[in-house]
Amino acid sequence: MTKAYLLGALHDSTERKTTYRVASKSRSYCEYLAKGILSLGSKAWIYKEGKNRNLWIVEFSKKLLKGIQVKTRQDKVDYTRGYFDTEGGISRSPTVRYYLYFAQKKFEDLVQVRNYLEKLGISCGVVHNPSKKADPNYWRFFVRAKSYLDFAKTIGSSHPEKVIFLRMKI
């Protein structure tokens, strides 16, 4: 795990005064994050949010990512993988057409990650609002079918469930 990966994963986080909190339905993904944060020299803790919710939180100090910037090609790959692992979607049912997409409420963030992908040679659709009526502040874009293999090989996934579905395309 790299700091650039964590920076990408923060797109599905909440920010407290001194910590970041990343939420996931996958306990194993939170355990992966916590182990990676530990390997980067910081502490992290995992807990279940609520008694009846299937939601896990990994929390860690904001100091770990202070001043981190995405500069190199590898930073862009890692950042995009972290972003995909928290804000990306992948078809899981064999009965529907295979797809990969990114979704987020922050338009500028999506434009940035789409630009990273395009510069890495991965063809993407246009950032758009799928339903202004349902949510005028929700944006997404898809990875074009011709780039599925390139996406899987270049970006990949570290999410325990998503990596299985990406491997189906390699």
Q: What confidence score (pLDDT) does residue 169 get?
A: 61
Q: What is the DSSP string of 49-94?
A: -SSS---EEEEEEGGGGTT----SHHHHHHHHHHHHHHHEEE---T
| Digit-coded pLDDT (tens) for 83-127 | 999 999 998 877 888 889 999 999 999 999 999 999 999 999 999
Q: What confidence score (pLDDT) does residue 12 get?
A: 81
Distance of CA 1 to the CA centre of its chain: 13
SS3 assignment, position 7: helix
Q: Is the pTM of this model over 0.95?
A: no
Rounded mean pLDDT for each run of 10 residues along the chain, 170 residues in total: 96 92 94 97 94 92 96 97 94 83 94 97 95 88 95 94 78
| Domains in the chain: ranges and CATH | 3-65 (3.10.28.10), 73-167 (3.10.28.10)
8 Å CB contact between 23 and 55: yes
The two three-digit tokens of residue 7, written as one number: 């920076």
Q: What confidence score (pLDDT) does residue 36 get?
A: 97
